[in-house]
Amino acid sequence: MDWTTDIVRRISSAGWAVLGVTLPFVFYTEVYEGALLPRLVVLQLGLLLLCLFLLFTKRPTVPKPLLLTTGALIATAALSATKSVNTTESLLQLAHYVPLLLIPLIVTSTLEPGSVARTLVGWVGAGAIISVIGISQYFGLAFEDLPSSANPSATFYHRNAAAEYLIGIIPFGWYLAQRASARWPRTFYIAITALCTIYLVFTRCRGAWIGLSIAALIVWIAARRSPSRSLLKGNRQILGVLSAAALLAFFLPDRITTPGAQHFDEKKDSALSALTSIADGSGHRGRSNLWSHTLRMSLDHPLLGVGLGNWEFIYPDYARGDQMNVNASPRRPHNDLLWILSETGIVGLAAFAVLVLLAVRSGLNALARGDRQALAAACLVVVLAHLGDGVFNFPRERVTPAFLFWFACGGLWVIDPRPSPQVPSRGIFVGAGCLILLATYVTATRMAYDVYHLRVHRAERQQDWDQVIRQAEAASEIGDYRANTFIALGRAHERQGRPVDAIAAYRRALVLHPHSLNAHNNVAIALRKTRDYDGAEQAAKRAIELNPRFPEAYNNLGNIYRDRSQWSRAIEAFEQALEFAPHNPVIRVNLGRALAASGDLTGAEQQARNTLALAPDFGPAVRLLTQIKAARD
């Protein structure tokens, strides 16, 4: 190795270290996905710089099998976009995932086995700081003003994302403690790893617990079978401290003062109840239904799937209301392997599986060597824990956990003692750099859009319709990225008495998300206001087809029939709406009005009185009773 290559490798090693330390702390509260997109941009810029450094090495190479499988997976993801109903989202997701897939290639060309180990020191230190923040939130001591939808999340916006980061840090902390020869460094790394373990317990993320535990067990069994068993020596103290820390954390109650929108429910009142709920059939939170519908989707689109990033747009057509409502439809199937299968087909899943299996094979090769056994074990645990958690969650989407996963895959290739065929990679990294540069531009544009989208979201919650229109129009000048932006825009136009503009906005939303319950239901309301009853009926029925338990859509359909004086059909629609929303006073009054118009004054009076029993001061019900009395007189 010449001196320039050595310098570049040292700089690259420092670059990896800085990147891994920085990513967990990057977030921006003025972006809709403030913990995802800013981190993705930082990661992309870091990878772009590493590709540029590689151009100064004498003759960079990459393992040929790794190059071929990575290329196959990227090509499959790109080809899957041809099946997308929303190709814009496919482009956004390509910008998200392609740089991550390139990480192992960049790792193999920039790091040596020794530099992999040195890179991890700062990462584990950053994990300790993150853990202090999360533990402080758990006990209500500090950092309560950090944005979060589910505390204790530290800087990750959600505790599950923090847990997925921790299962990538804890194995590296164990490794640094294992390799430390002096007493104080060893004690220091054990303490840091114990701190991360405590915080992992406090997140109550059962998928992460299962993933890490099973991964550690698998690697321990593999280590016992290897010719060199040095990994099994000197671990009693480390494992004893970590076990004691985890056991203690299980019995410490939380004192979270700002839990966010998703506080611990009854299944997670304590860490112990969260652990026991794993065996509870109700503990899966409907995931089995998500998985079943996703499998049907995959069977209907076997080769290339429904298109990268398009699961959420196709799922409602298969769910028929299962695990769905107007306010919160699922965006992913909570299973990474099924997610890959459904969006990129058997071809994409096979390419992903081969890519991971080759990395695991490299790790098993290294596990047989005493000098690299501990590092191989740590990287293997990171990879397997990520996959295990991905059976229940979606760590592949979250930038920092995915970064750790793909880095560990690359690290396994680096420490593999068996040589692989190498190919010159200077031209490859020129191409990779161009892809990452394009991805950075796409992500930055998406982030600029999401600044306006967040403003739309906030203004809509405050019912500031003028502000919704201003911000949505500013967002649309950047592009059409989110259906919800245009649903909010349509609602704002509708509230301000412009149904024609509302219809145009809703139809823009339907171009992006053709199976959106909200968009179909809302366009039915707006079409009814323009007296396009045929179009309104069609839209309302489409919403009901997508969700047969959708009371608002049945109510809208009843209003359409009432406007046409089709009283029997209106009554039937309102009765179906009440079946799914029996305590809704608006629907009850609507049913009462339809009954009165059809001549059933007794039934109408009963509905009015039932409404007042639910809502004693509900004016429309009082007026309906007055009208019924006048009709009888």
pLDDT in tens, 288-342: 889 999 999 999 999 999 999 999 999 999 988 776 665 567 889 999 999 999 9
Tens digit of each residue's pLDDT (9 = 90 or more) over 358-383: 999 999 999 887 678 889 999 999 99
Top pLDDT among 454 and 418 is at: 454
pLDDT band at 137 (very low <50, low <70, confident <90, very high): very high
Do residues 158 and 149 make contact, with C-beta atoms less than 8 angstroms apart?
yes
pLDDT exceeds cutoff 70 at 231:
no
d(CA 124, CA 491): 48
Give a yes or no: residue 414 inside a domain: yes
State residue 229's pLDDT score.
60
Q: How far apart are CA 387 and CA 396, in angstroms?
A: 9
CB 536 within 8 A of CB 560: yes
**Number of folded domains in the chain?**
2
Residue 527 lies in a domain: no
Q: Is the pLDDT of residue 586 over 90?
A: yes
Closest among 137, 101, 123, 107 to 170, alpha carbons compared:
123
531 lies in some domain: no
Q: In which element (H, E) is residue 9 found?
A: helix 3-22
pLDDT of res. 485: 97
Same domain, 78 and 217: yes
Q: Are residues 371 and 179 in contact, defined by beta-carbon separation less than 8 angstroms?
A: no
Mean pLDDT of 167-176: 96
What is the band of 68 on the pLDDT scale with cuts at 50, 70, 90? very high
pLDDT in tens, 535-552: 999 999 999 999 999 999
* Burial class, 266, CB count within 10 angstroms (exposed 0-12 / middle 13-18 / buried 19+): exposed
CA distance 399 to 445: 18
Looking at 404, 423, 441, which one is the last position of a domain?
A: 441
Contact 488, 466 (CB under 8 A): no
Q: What pLDDT shows up at residue 272?
A: 55
Domain end position, chosen among 408, 441, 474:
441
- The pLDDT of residue 183: 85
How many Å apart are CA 211 and CA 466, to the nearest integer? 48
Evaluate whether residue 509 is within a structural domain. Answer: no
Q: Is the pTM higher than 0.75? A: yes
- Domain contains 57: yes
Residue 73 and residue 222 in one domain: yes
What is the per-residue burial (b if ≥16 Cβ within 10 Å, else e) of 277-302? beeeeeebeebeebbebbbebbeebe
**Given a cut of 80, is residue 575 above it in pLDDT?**
yes
Eight-state DSSP code of residue 158? B
Mean pLDDT of the region 133-162: 94
Per-residue pLDDT of 46-63, as tens digits, reads: 999 999 888 877 677 899
On average, the pLDDT of the chain sits at: 91
Give 180-219 pLDDT, tens digit per residue: 888 888 899 999 999 999 999 999 999 999 999 999 999 9
Q: Is the pLDDT of residue 104 over 90?
A: yes
Local structure of residue 423 (DSSP, 8 states):
E
pLDDT in tens, 233-285: 667 788 888 889 999 898 888 888 888 777 765 555 555 555 555 555 555 56
On whether residue 14 sits in a domain, the answer given is yes
* Residue 570 sits in the same domain as residue 436: no
Q: What is the pLDDT of residues 492-525, one digit of tens each?
A: 999 999 999 999 999 999 999 999 999 999 999 9
Query: Which DSSP symbol is given to 273?
Result: H
Q: What is the mean pLDDT of residues 125-137?
A: 97
Question: Does residue 528 belong to any structural domain of this protein?
Answer: no
Q: Is residue 567 predicted with pLDDT exceeding 70? A: yes
Residue with tokens 């009926």: 537
- Checking if the pLDDT of 136 tops 90, the result is yes
Instruction: Provide the residue range defining the domain that includes 616.
Output: 550-633
State which of 405, 421, 441 marks the end of a domain: 441
- Give the CATH number, domain containing residue 633: 1.25.40.10
Any domain includes 319: yes
- At 326 the pLDDT is 56
* Residue 353 clears pLDDT 80, i.e. is over it: yes
Same domain, 571 and 432: no
398-411 pLDDT, tens per residue?
999 999 999 999 99
